[in-house]
Amino acid sequence: MTATDTRVPARPRRSLLDRNTAMRLAATEYGRYLDLLRSLDEADWARPTDCPPWDVRAMTGHCLGMAEFAASLPTFVHQNAAATRRGGVPVDALTDLQVHQRRDLTPEQLIARYAAVAPRAVRGRRRRSLLVGRVAMPGTQTVGGVPERWTFGYLFETILTRDTWMHRVDTARATGRDLVLTPEHDGVIVADVVAEWAGRHGRPYALTLTGPAGGRWTAGEGPEMQLDAVEFCRILSGRTAAPAGLLATQVPF
């Protein structure tokens, strides 16, 4: 399917990760994001991020809200219902709701609640992945201007970890903090992104990603590309303007 194809795929998108790997990545990513939050000073919370109009504090409210969304079925239902009443693009309504409902929390309260909910979020994601992982989510999601259907498994096993990972990148960039990257964690997340990206464009390529999360991937006799692994993901997420060619193929985070 090309970037200009407006057909909705017949099969809802499923996670490419096995469940145990997905939950290991989820637990590690929640922990790394929490460590980053604990390293921030007072001035950092008001710094702008690559997701305007969110500053670091608002972004943390979203990440906390999404973890609570994952941890508790009543919260999951409440947030979805409240976001639906708001109208507009569903994912935007949901994230705006999460920020709005946590706007009065202090940084200390945000951190404390995140620390408390993170283990429950992993357990909640595993349970719902087991129960409804193969079930299609209602409605469609738009990726690169193209509507598509997702399974709940794709949401709970893949997207919620990518979302936290990318916001950890955003927060580190906004505050000048070092971004902790390792092959066994970030490298697995990036490799999964590469696999999905390759499947989405379906063309030959030769890709070298540098840094601790990098690697090399090829398929056929395609154009040679080399760039930083994190920057590659930022381009596919839409945070950085994509050059022409295969890097214009978006992947959801």
pTM, two decimals, is: 0.94
Q: Which domain holds residue 68?
A: 19-179
Task: Return d(Cα 238, Cα 143) in angstroms, integer.
Answer: 10
- Which of 153, 179, 205 is a domain's end point? 179
Per the structure, the count of domains in the chain is 2
H or E segment at 215?
strand 215-219
Residue 123, classed as helix, strand or coil, is helix
Cα separations in angstroms, 168 against 8, 132, 217: 31, 28, 25
Under 8 Å between Cβ of 112 and 68:
no
Q: pLDDT tens digit string along 171-214?
A: 999 999 999 999 999 999 999 999 999 999 999 999 999 999 99
Domain check: are 219 and 115 in the same one?
no
Domain check: are 169 and 222 in the same one?
no
- Is the per-residue pLDDT at 89 higher than 50? yes
Domain check: are 162 and 188 in the same one?
no
Around Cβ 226, how many Cβ atoms within 10 Å? 12
Residue 44, classed as helix, strand or coil, is helix
Domain check: are 115 and 148 in the same one?
yes
**Does residue 10 sit within a domain?**
no
7 band by pLDDT with thresholds 50, 70 and 90: very low
Domain check: are 171 and 195 in the same one?
no
53 band by pLDDT with thresholds 50, 70 and 90: very high
- Which of 136, 152, 179 is a domain's end point? 179
Domain check: are 175 and 113 in the same one?
yes
Domain check: are 96 and 221 in the same one?
no
The three-state DSSP-derived secondary structure of 166-211 is: HHHHHHHHHHCCCCCCCHHHHHHHHHHHHHHHHHHHCCCEEEEEEC
Instruction: Classify the phi-psi angles of 47: left when phi > 0, otherwise alpha if psi is within -120 to 50, otherwise beta.
Output: beta
243 band by pLDDT with thresholds 50, 70 and 90: confident
Domain check: are 115 and 95 in the same one?
yes
Domain check: are 211 and 156 in the same one?
no
- Is the per-residue pLDDT at 77 higher than 70? yes
**Does residue 243 sit within a domain?**
yes
Domain check: are 48 and 154 in the same one?
yes
Q: pLDDT tens digit string along 23-47?
A: 999 999 999 999 999 999 999 999 9
